[in-house]
Structure 1
């Protein structure tokens, strides 16, 4: 396919997708509450930090 035709088709499809996304956003109304997004974000950060942190060493009592 000629590169300019490919680029033109890509631009048309991108415009269609943007129009659909815009219409979908208007249909849904407002975005989810910001506080829920913030809590979810910080929870993901906490989980990520736990995954990368070295395991804690457990002290074994000496008898």
Structure 2
């Protein structure tokens, strides 16, 4: 068996075992990372938003 296939199978099995382990919460990202990604998402939403339309009087 090739080493990269063996490593991938090992990683998949380890992930399954971690998911099945009782009483162990999933690791949380640090607050700084969460805040950073939230700001990135907000910035992307602001950039992607269409510009406000101005009313034209005829």
TM-score per shorter chain, which class?
0.3 to 0.5
Structure 2 length as normaliser, TM-score?
0.41
Judging by fraction of residues, say which structure has more helix. Answer: 1
Structure 1 length as normaliser, TM-score?
0.38
In terms of Rg, which structure is larger? 1
